[in-house]
Structure 1
Amino acid sequence: MRIAVAGATGNIGSLTVAGLERAGHEVVRISRRDGVDLVTGEGLEEALTGVDAVVDAVSANPSDPAGAVALFGGMTSNLLAAEQRAGVRHHVLLSIVGIDRVEGNAHYAGKREQERLVAAGPVPWTIVPATQFHDFAGMVAGWAERDGVSTIAPLLVQPIAPQDVADVLAEVATGEPLGRHPHLAGPETQDLVDMARRTLQAQGRDVRLVPTWSGMFGPEMAGNALLPDEDARIAPTTFDEWLAKAV
């Protein structure tokens, strides 16, 4: 199959590209680095010529909900319109578990807009909502670190290995459209503060963590808000297994 991956240079996108190529598929990379701009639509027509399926693993970090809706909505609209013109038969969107339960988070607002457009759009689709990735805690701690101290929200999560997410996206892209895929999650529930502590320890970094609800992660994300449904598809890789290989 000829499959395009949007966000091909990102964390999940690059792993998805590699997995599809290992399986013998022809992969078209969609990224600015590859001369395709989802914001302007430049290069999309040429990139999608002859493409059977598209995986959308694009990520961005707008600071406000309105900006996120405009950015994600614009990129998704451009992509879907170009797919329709090219005769693409399957659009696969990587989304996030819990975005329908949390208001106020800019990134989640953008992802909700993506889901809305895909579900109402002209291209047969599958939406794959995944939990936070195993590397999420370390990234969050790094964003907030100042002078050896980092604030971090005490989120309850069921994290998943990036490779496991990419494997599922590649599998879904080569199959028939499913509509809403079951939630995708890792095998264990974790506390984000503890994950960050273990990540930093494994990296040999001395950072004092201060649990707090602030910034992009407010108390509306407490409790089970980010946990998967009971019928979730559980990926195999534990956080400890991932961490042992990641550092």
Structure 2
Amino acid sequence: MAGATGRLGRHVVDVLAERGYQIVPMSRATGVDIITGEGLAEALTGVDVILDVAAWHDSDQEAATEFFRTATRNLHEAGRSAGAGLVVAASIIGNDKATAGFVASQQVHEEGHLSGPLPARILRAAQFHEFVGQLLDWRRGDVAHVPALPTQLVACRTVAETLVDLATDPEPPARPDPGTPIPEIAGPRRETMAEAAQLLGARRGVKVVAVDGSGLPDAEIAAAGAFLPGPHAELAGPTFREWLDTQP
């Protein structure tokens, strides 16, 4: 599994382990680099399904696009040589509408998987509950300015469970029909990112001020709901407030 030690990857590892599957965690921390290819062939030996939840570390579109282009190509080529039968990858809801930033880089990520030599399944997810804390960590001083853009936050654990369901579906893998919507997973409650941040800020003693998102990539289409789940999306809890109540 690529990205095994990341924010989402840790949860995927937990779900796989709980369901009794053997896991080969792949990250630089485990000696596998999906960009340089170091350790990749050895890690994929005997693997049936490749899970790709690797992520780039900043929002620069060009750098993120190159990361996903290279990583996807390497995973498919090494996976084919190793005899893997399927790749399952995490993506972002609304990336097909994005024109800039990290979200737009997911277009190359998805296309690389869907056009690669191995059959691939994609799961588009809403923004994670866990991302809200990162927004507060990025603040300067005692006040966090968070965009009041609509979202339908989902827990990483919920996304991980859905990814594992896709990866272990007994149906024979097939290339998706171009007219079939890519599966989506989102939380059950629509809110703004600022509203969620205010809930967390109240617990951390951080003042959160809602802003309009000006200057962010695709803020105008985001405000119009471009990154909200479609009518075919699976909606699953917990809500952000419910999830927050379970955090230490």
Q: Residue 26 of structure 1: CA displacement?
A: 0.5
Equivalent residue, structure 2, for 1:43: 39
Distance 1:91 1:189, change over 3 A: same
1: CA distance, partners of 2:36 / 2:78: 12
Gaps of 5+ in 2: none
Contact 2:186-2:233 at 8 Å conserved across structures: yes
Contact 1:71-1:110 at 8 Å conserved across structures: no
What TM-score, normalized by structure 2, do the two folds share? Answer: 0.91
Mapping for residues 1-247 of structure 1, pairs under 5 Å = 5-105=1-101, 107-143=102-138, 145-175=139-169, 176=171, 177=173, 179=176, 181-202=182-203, 204-217=204-217, 218-247=219-248
Contact 2:185-2:229 at 8 Å conserved across structures: yes
1: CA distance, partners of 2:112 / 2:62: 16
Distance 1:6 1:18, change over 3 A: same
Contact 1:157-1:227 at 8 Å conserved across structures: yes
Q: Could you tell which deviates more after superposition, 210-219 or 112-121? A: 210-219
Q: Secondary structure at the match of 1:6?
A: coil
Gaps of 5+ in 1: none
Deviations 1:176-195 (Å, cap 9, x if unpaired)?
A: 43646421111110111010
Contact 1:6-1:31 at 8 Å conserved across structures: yes
Q: Secondary structure at the match of 1:117?
A: helix
What TM-score, normalized by structure 1, do the two folds share? Answer: 0.92
Q: Secondary structure at the match of 2:24?
A: strand
Q: Secondary structure at the match of 1:50?
A: coil
2: CA distance, partners of 1:208 / 1:108: 24
Q: Could you tell which deviates more after superposition, 47-56 or 130-139? A: 130-139
2: CA distance, partners of 1:36 / 1:158: 33
Distance 1:86 1:215, change over 3 A: farther
Q: Residue 167 of structure 1: CA displacement?
A: 0.7
Q: Secondary structure at the match of 1:30?
A: coil
Return the letter of the residue paired with 1:164: T
Contact 1:151-1:212 at 8 Å conserved across structures: no
2: CA distance, partners of 1:235 / 1:142: 27
Q: Residue 80 of structure 1: CA displacement?
A: 1.0
Q: Secondary structure at the match of 1:100?
A: helix
1: CA distance, partners of 2:190 / 2:152: 4
RMSD: 1.6
Q: Residue 63 of structure 1: CA displacement?
A: 4.2
Contact 1:80-1:123 at 8 Å conserved across structures: yes
Distance 1:241 1:210, change over 3 A: closer
Aligned pairs, number? 240
Q: Percent identity among equivalent residues?
A: 36
2: CA distance, partners of 1:26 / 1:235: 26
Deviations 1:5-51 (Å, cap 9, x if unpaired)?
A: 11000111111111111111100000000000011000000000000
